[in-house]
């Protein structure tokens, strides 16, 4: 009897732990999961992604439309990506991927082709470097990807 109760409690604990690490809107892993997983990401690159002009979508089409777009972008990142996709919050996402996979450029094209929005992406050896590269993409006109190696060469 006690063994069954212990198993039930462990199952419940695992269920709630997984819920705590999953973004409710998109089903992707969330910021907390990323922080938990960071210790396991040796030798990976990070692709930081921001949905272009997302505030305009929310302001003109409403939050339900914005939620639908975030779900569509998440689906593309999850199915087309070559790593683990996370939603940080709002319209920001991160993909942890093996170095040299060109995931950022592929994600920009896939989102453009499969949704009604565009994204700006940046790849770096750390999340902060990837975030800086994403801002370079925004400054250079959006709907593009900037890789830290290419930025160094400029």
Token pair for 36: 């938990």
- Residues annotated as catalytic are 91
- What is the C-alpha to C-alpha distance for residues 137 and 143, in angstroms, rounded to an integer? 7
Whether residue 80 contacts residue 107, with contact meaning beta carbons closer than 8 Å, is answered with yes
- Residue in the structure block whose two tokens are 């453009």: 112
First to last CA, the chain: 68
CA angle at residue 53 from 98 to 81, to 5 degrees? 20
């Amino acid at each position: 009897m006690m063994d069954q109760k212990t198993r039930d409690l462990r199952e419940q604990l695992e269920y709630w732990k997984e819920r705590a690490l999953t973004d409710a809107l998109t089903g992707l892993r969330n910021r907390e999961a990323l922080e938990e997983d960071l210790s396991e990401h040796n030798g990976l690159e990070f692709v930081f992604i921001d949905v272009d002009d997302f505030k305009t979508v929310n302001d003109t089409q409403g939050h339900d439309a914005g939620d639908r777009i975030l779900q569509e972008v998440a689906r593309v990142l999850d199915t087309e990506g070559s790593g683990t996709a996370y939603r940080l919050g709002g319209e920001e996402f991160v993909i942890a991927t093996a170095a040299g996979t060109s995931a950022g450029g592929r994600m920009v094209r896939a989102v453009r082709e499969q949704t009604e929005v565009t994204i700006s992406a940046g790849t770096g050896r750390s999340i902060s470097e990837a975030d800086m590269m994403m801002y370079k993409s925004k400054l250079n006109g959006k709907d593009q990807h900037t890789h830290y190696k290419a930025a160094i060469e400029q």
